[in-house]
Structure formats: structure tokens, C-alpha cells
Amino acid sequence: MGDTISINTLEYAAIIINYIALIIAFLDAPNDNDPFPTTLLFTNNVVSEVWICKGAKKSPAGKALSFPQALLMINNPVGIHADRISTTDNVIAN
């Protein structure tokens, strides 16, 4: 059990990976009309939503992912927001 990765950590990592892809897309094709775009990333996990907005405080894996997220956000024109999709509204399951 100690070797497994929690769903919270996996969802958080997925959000960070998507954020990286959006940064690359913006840098590849910047929009002069929106020099500071913001992305809205959806998750079906409350913990990962909180971690993307506030960072992890207790989970060692969450804290380990918070550091690269912070590095990505420093001096980055692409902002990030997260919202949660309820289990009943999530038509694409994990």
C-alpha cells in the first residue's frame, strides 16, 4: 500500500501537465489581443482543485508537485484557474 500513488496526486499531476501544454501553445502562438490569458482546467477531484489553487500542505507527493507548479507560474503570462466537475456531470470517467 505504501508504494501506490493516490488519485489526488494523479489528478494534480494531470492538471499540471495540461497547464504545461497550454503554456507551450500560448508561447507558440501568442495572441496580441490577450497578452495575459487565463486557462480554466476542470477536475473531478476536490483535493486536486484545492492543490492547484493553494498548494498542498500535508501530502508529501502533493508538496513535491507544488514546487514545479510554482516554478512554472513565476513570470508566466498564462494564468491558471481550476474548477470541479461533479461526479454526476462527469461523462468521461477516469
What average pLDDT does the segment 36-40 reach? 90
44-83 tens-digit pLDDT: 888 888 898 888 888 899 999 999 999 999 989 899 989 8
Q: Provide the percentage of residues in the chain whose pLDDT is more than 70.
A: 96
Domain map (residue ranges) of the chain: 7-84
Give residue 65's pLDDT.
93
Looking at the DSSP assignment, which residues form a beta bridge with residue 32?
Answer: none
Nearest residue to 48 (alpha-carbon basis) of 5, 93, 90, 14: 14
3-state class (DSSP) for residue 41 = strand
What's the angle, vertex CA 13, arms to CA 9 and CA 16, rounded to 5? 140
Cut 0.95: pTM above it:
no
Residue 28 pLDDT more than 90? yes
Backbone dihedral region of 44: left (phi > 0), alpha (psi from -120 to 50 degrees) or beta? alpha
Q: Choose between 69 and 85: higher pLDDT.
A: 69
Give residue 4's pLDDT.
82
Give residue 94's pLDDT.
55
